[in-house]
Amino acid sequence: MTPHTVMTFVFIEFDQNWQRGGTVQYIAITNANLIVVAEDATGMKTTYWFKVNKNEIVYVSYEENLVFIPARCVRKGRGDATTCGQKG
C-alpha cells in the first residue's frame, strides 16, 4: 500500500510536473515535487517536501485547507521555504 499524508496547509507549491484535473485534483504527469507549508498553533511555519510518483493524484480541499498526498514527506524544514517565501 502506498503511504499517504493528510495535512492542513497554509500554502502549497506544485512544480511544473502537475496537471490540474477538476477543481480539487492535481495529477503528476511525471515524477513530481510538491512543497507544503503548515503552521502550528503558535504561528510557526514548517515546510514539507514530497516526491510524488507519475499518475498519482493529490487532492486539495481549499474549503478546509486540507491536502491529501499519496506519499510521505522526504524532508522538512523550519519556516516557509517555498519560492513565494523566498526573499529575492
State the Cα–Cα distance between residues 53 and 33, nearest whole angstrom: 9
pLDDT digits (tens, 9 = 90+) for 13-55: 999 999 999 889 999 999 999 999 999 999 999 999 999 999 9
- pLDDT level of residue 85 (50, 70, 90 thresholds): low
- Which range of residues forms the domain containing residue 37? 5-78
Torsion sign across C-alpha atoms 16, 23, 7, 2: negative
Whether 53 is covered by a domain: the verdict is: yes
Whether 84 is covered by a domain: the verdict is: no
- pLDDT level of residue 88 (50, 70, 90 thresholds): very low
Whether 41 is covered by a domain: the verdict is: yes
Amino acid occupying residue 86: Q
Whether 54 is covered by a domain: the verdict is: yes
State the Cα–Cα distance between residues 80 and 68, nearest whole angstrom: 20
Whether 74 is covered by a domain: the verdict is: yes
- Number of domains the chain is built from: 1
Whether 17 is covered by a domain: the verdict is: yes
Q: Name 33's bridge partners.
A: 51
